[in-house]
Structure 1
Amino acid sequence: MATGGRLRPVREIVTYVHMTDQEQFRPAAPVPGLALAALDRRSPLVVEVQARMGAPYGWGSAVRTAPEWDLWFARHPDRAFWLLSHEGEPAGLLACDLHPDDEVEIDTFGLVPEFVGRGLGGYALTLAVRQAWDLTPTVRRVWLHTSSADHPAALPNYHRRGFSTFKVEEGERA
């Protein structure tokens, strides 16, 4: 919320969830026409889709300038990207980082606004989690975080797919 040209901080709860074994994974029913495909990090869709996904939730990706994107990419040289598409249309994005000790962080996951509320989220997350576990043959943990500012169905969807909460942080963000 703006006050006198400045943003007023808002209260935020960040919830961290993980799976430590593939046996914990509970896939959603398939959705015909929904697919996940590798996306070259130089594709303009990486920026475009992240900006569209994040705009309703105040993600930094929604307002980054071109130089800020360049810096962001330079800070994450090994981040891998996949495009979610529904019947051939870009519907969302997955970005993963492989950390030491064979941990995969789902850094970015979501749908663009026009695909939210259409029953795609459960299977979209199913595709994302499968991809995360398949990143290397030795993955031992998949984790991510979500914010109370994100879509209200996000955290329940993570729990339905088998993620469990391992940390909660409360604070403020501008």
Structure 2
Amino acid sequence: MSNPVTTWYLEQTSPADLRPAAEPAGDVRIVRAELPSPEFSRFLYTAVGGDVQWHDRLGMTYAEWAEVLGRPGAETWVAYDRGTPAGYAEFEAGPDGSVEIVYFGLIPAFRGRRIGGHLLSYAVARAWDLAERRPGLEPTKRVWLHTCSKDGPHAMDNYLRRGFALYDTRVTDEPDEPTPGPWPGAHP
């Protein structure tokens, strides 16, 4: 069986487009994972994307994860709530000055605490100043991402509130697959 899935493509074309969210209450910190770690990145990927059917990286080998994470202009930023990973943003610079936010989201237990808007604001600001931290990269001219109808109910609203503008919409028919979760049976 298959289901129609709508994918929306959004972008910012200037740092002035970013509308930052307020910082959440409590002890929330955002830290760059400076050492590429396939183990940690796979943990974040499955913990954040398991209930919204992220599948594309599940079959990647350790070497493939290491290659993706080690690319010039690839960065992972992790939100911690009182020392516990709450979510992450992973992005990658393109050769044309574009930066794609490849993955973004929160672990289900941390959703609804206003961490997502803060993390997205911080990650987008870091995407805009990426070339300052990574000599040899083109200055960022565009930050973009995509989200789909399988993502959380607040994802699109968060992107629009942070200043992203819709530039394309596509509908595809995708097979109905079970939710993988971070481990089998983790999400009922």
TM-score grouping bracket, smaller chain normalisation = 0.7 to 0.9
Instruction: Give the aligned partner of residue 21 of structure 2.
Output: 28
Distance 1:77 1:9 in 2: 35
Aligned to 2:106: 111
Is residue 102 from structure 1 mapped to residue 103 from structure 2 by the alignment? no
User: For residues 107-146 of structure 1, what are the structure 2 equivalents within 5 Å?
Assistant: 107-137=102-132, 138-146=139-147
In structure 1, the residue matched to 2:169 is 168
Tell me, what secondary structure is at the counterpart of 2:49?
helix
Identity of aligned residues (%): 31
**Equivalent-residue separation in structure 2 for 1:75 and 1:161 (angstroms):** 27
- TM-score calculated relative to the size of structure 1: 0.87
C-alpha distance in 2 between matches for 1:75 and 1:134: 21
The 1-side partners of 2:81 and 2:158 are apart by 19
Q: List gaps (5 residues or longer) in structure 1.
A: 1-7
Q: 1:60 aligns with which of 55, 64, 72?
A: 55
User: Equivalent residue of 2:147, what SS?
Assistant: strand
2:46 aligns with one of 47, 51, 59 = 51
* Deviation string, structure 1 residues 95-137 (Cα, Å, up to 9, x no partner): 1110022110000111011101222221121111111112114
Give the aligned length: 165
State the one-letter code of the partner of 2:84. Answer: E
1:65, CA displacement in angstroms? Answer: 4.5
Q: CA RMSD in A?
A: 1.8
Equivalent residue of 1:114, what SS?
helix
**Which residues of structure 2 form unaligned runs of 5+?**
133-138, 176-188
Provide the rounded CA distance (Å) in 1 between the counterparts of 2:29 and 2:48: 17
Structure having the higher strand fraction is 1
Q: Does 1:37 align with 2:31?
A: yes
Shift of 1:156: 0.7
Write the distance in 2 (CA, Å) between the matches of 1:35 and 1:143. Answer: 24
Tell me how far apart the structure 2 counterparts of residues 140 and 66 of structure 1 sit (CA, whole Å). Answer: 30
Structure 2 residue aligned with 1:4: none
Amino acid at match of 2:131: T
Deviations 1:11-57 (A, max 9, x none): 10000000000111100111242222111222522111110101110
